[in-house]
Amino acid sequence: MAELAALHRAADAGEAAAAWVRELADRQGPGEHGRLLERVAEAITQASSREIIPGSNGLLAEELRYTLAADVVLGASHTTGTLPELHPGERMPLIAVCALATAFPSCVLGDLNRELEVLSPELEAATAAGRAAAEMPTG
């Protein structure tokens, strides 16, 4: 029962984080940055739910690891020559959200319930920090 509750909390935290990243994607418009952030949102959802497999080797699929790499804050700058439009203070929470999501599947190698009970609120806090950064006045 506790394991199921921990898995649900992780999935809920991942969904909230993915929703925030989708908002970042929407802000980018239809270009490459937006498409990349949409993929990141989907990877967060997967890593915080379907990829947490009790009894598995705890490894995140290579494609998801690549998608959630810290260079996500650079967006598609290698092809566009520009950075994604992020408000001051959004880059660090974006990195934190991706790093935390990446860590979720490995929780099956330790004390799954305890680790998810620690990581899920941290993912929620990183998401809240990202949302708050967008609301801060600039200038």
Cα–Cα distance, 120 to 100 (Å, whole number):
8
Average of pLDDT values for 95-99? 96
Cα–Cα distance, 73 to 57 (Å, whole number):
29
Is pLDDT of 137 > 80? Answer: no
Helices (H), 48-111: 62-67, 77-80, 91-103
Is pLDDT of 134 > 90? Answer: no
Cβ pair 17, 97 in contact under 8 A: yes
Is pLDDT of 35 > 90? Answer: yes
Residues in the chain: 139
Average of pLDDT values for 33-58? 95
Q: Which residue has the tokens 């200038």?
A: 139
Confidence of residue 75 (pLDDT cuts 50, 70, 90): confident
Pick the more confident residue, 91 or 139: 91
Confidence of residue 139 (pLDDT cuts 50, 70, 90): low
Cβ pair 40, 75 in contact under 8 A: no
pLDDT of the residue at 70? 80
Reading the block at residue 127, the tokens are 């998401």
Average of pLDDT values for 44-58? 95
pLDDT of the residue at 109? 96
- Amino acid identity of residue 76, one-letter, is A
pLDDT of the residue at 115? 97
**CA-derived radius of gyration, the chain:** 15
pLDDT of the residue at 119? 98
